[in-house]
Amino acid sequence: MNFLPFIQFLIVLLLLSPGYVVAQTVLEADGPGNTYELINSVLAPGYNVVENPECIHPEFGRHIAEVWDSELNQFVFVFYSHVTPDNDRCINFDRERTEIKTYEPSPEELKGVSGETVIYKWKFKVPSGFQPSSNFTHIHQIKAVGGNDDMPIFTLTPRAGNPDKMELIHDNTTKVATVNLSLFEGIWVEATEKIKIDSLHGTYSITIKKVSNGSTILSYANNDLMTIRSDNEFIRPKWGIYRSLNSASSLRDEAMRFAGFSISEETTTITELNPAVQNSRLELFPNPVSKKVTISYSLAESTNIDLVIYNLDGSIAKSLISHQLQPKGSNHFVIDVSGMKQGLYVVSLSSNNFKQSVKLCINN
């Protein structure tokens, strides 16, 4: 039987001995429908982390969708940006924005505070012929919250020129790395960004590699620079398309693909993933479901687990397994959901060293 490729939300505590703790959250597309609900359930359960222009462009529908990508062989997110009539949330009309973020209501493990080291990973594909603005077109930002937080601390910015460039900018002013944008167009790449958070002597590195062969396109590292301002509370990532409309005639409608968003907090040292995490998975079928759903989970080792269905506000809709020992290997759990209200839920499987969650759509 073919299982749907669901793994959206992963929080991992690895090697629980002191000094070797890593918390990781992963957001993956899992198929069309309920895309905003999925994104919110991972980055800020019960809140809204999607910034879009649908206040002015409702007829297009949602500006982030999930589609199948034959190159990665998985579902991915597509971010749509239109020259007309899109804008920035009906707040700013000289720019347009389709982005996702973490922010104040997000879980604490998704906020980077002074003294921590955070790691962001994601895949993206710049469309062939992409037309960036000569002003700004940010596809990734590291921003701060609290105090002087207007300007981003780091941005990854395609910029129109002769030739077009991909720029890495620090503190909204200093271009610390620049390569030709053509190196990115039409291919999947994976970015790994590591930040030690300090207002004076932080460290920063980013490496962007081709998914196809692992070759490096852009690389930058600095072991002594500001990565948070002294009056900021925390830093947070943003991904998507955020661009100026001041030169709208040189722009076109764009659709950029993203996949595999990952946010990690490193206390001391990142190590290889625990095999219990690498080889464990949680899947649901059918999904959407009207009557009975099979919850399939594969465990790399025998372990005590909790299996819970949550409402999107984080409250428990149904507790299925409460700290019971489950055998290594494949397990199946069939439940009747016909009595539950129609809507979106999150099914969560957790043990002492990992947590995996997938969305469940009940359609009575």
Nearest to 232 by CA among 152, 145, 153: 145
Domain membership flag for residue 205:
yes
The tens digit of pLDDT for each residue in 327-356 reads 888 888 899 999 999 887 888 887 766 667
In terms of Cβ atoms closer than 10 Å to its own Cβ (0-12, 13-18, 19+), residue 162 is exposed
Specify the range with the lowest mean pLDDT, choosing from 60-69, 96-105, 112-121.
Answer: 112-121
User: Structural domain of residue 313, as residue ranges?
Assistant: 275-362
Regarding whether 322 and 246 lie in a shared domain, the answer is no
Domain boundary (266, 296, 318) is at: 266
Domain membership flag for residue 12:
no
The tens digit of pLDDT for each residue in 280-294 reads 577 888 888 889 999
Regarding whether 190 and 56 lie in a shared domain, the answer is yes
Regarding whether 196 and 331 lie in a shared domain, the answer is no
Pairing of strands 303-310, 50-51: unpaired
Regarding whether 252 and 284 lie in a shared domain, the answer is no
- Cα(261)–Cα(191) distance, integer angstroms: 10
What tokens were used for 297?
A: 């989970």
**End-to-end CA distance of the chain, in Å?**
24
Regarding whether 329 and 290 lie in a shared domain, the answer is yes
Q: Looking at residue 206, which CATH number applies to its domain?
A: 2.60.120.200
What type of residue is 130?
F
Pairing of strands 95-101, 117-125: unpaired
Give me the pLDDT at residue 62, please.
Answer: 98
Domain membership flag for residue 5:
no
Please give the residue that has the higher pLDDT: either 313 or 72.
72
Q: Looking at residue 343, which CATH number applies to its domain?
A: 2.60.40.2550
Regarding whether 63 and 204 lie in a shared domain, the answer is yes
- Give the side-chain half-sphere CA count within 13 A for 23: 11
- For the residues 87-115, what does the mean pLDDT come to? 94
- Three-state SS for 257-302 is EEEEEEEEEECCCCCCCCHHHHCCEEEEECCCECCEEEEEEEECCC
The tens digit of pLDDT for each residue in 141-199 reads 999 999 999 999 999 999 999 999 999 999 999 999 999 999 999 999 999 999 999 99
Give me the pLDDT at residue 352, please.
Answer: 63
What tokens were used for 280?
A: 């464990």
Domain boundary (219, 239, 266) is at: 266
Provide the mean pLDDT of the chain.
87
Domain membership flag for residue 152:
yes
- Cα(177)–Cα(166) distance, integer angstroms: 8
Regarding whether 331 and 182 lie in a shared domain, the answer is no
Answer whether residue 276 shows pLDDT above 50. no
Burial 279-311 (b: 16+ CB within 10 A, else e): ebbbbbeebbbeeebbbbbebbeebebbbbbbb
Domain membership flag for residue 32:
yes
What type of residue is 33?
G
Q: How many domains does the chain have?
A: 2
Domain boundary (237, 266, 295) is at: 266
Share of the chain above pLDDT 90, in %: 66
Regarding whether 293 and 164 lie in a shared domain, the answer is no
Give me the pLDDT at residue 353, please.
Answer: 60
Regarding whether 32 and 85 lie in a shared domain, the answer is yes
In terms of Cβ atoms closer than 10 Å to its own Cβ (0-12, 13-18, 19+), residue 30 is buried
Regarding whether 181 and 38 lie in a shared domain, the answer is yes
Strand ranges for 95-153 from DSSP E: 95-101, 117-125, 137-145
- Cα(48)–Cα(101) distance, integer angstroms: 9
Answer whether residue 298 shows pLDDT above 50. yes
Listing DSSP states for 128-197 in one string gives TT----SS-EEEEEEEEESSS-SS-SEEEEEE-SSS-EEEEEETTTEEEEEEEGGGTBTSEEEEEEEEE-
Domain membership flag for residue 261:
yes
- Cα(6)–Cα(42) distance, integer angstroms: 13
DSSP code at position 250: G
Answer whether residue 49 shows pLDDT above 70. yes
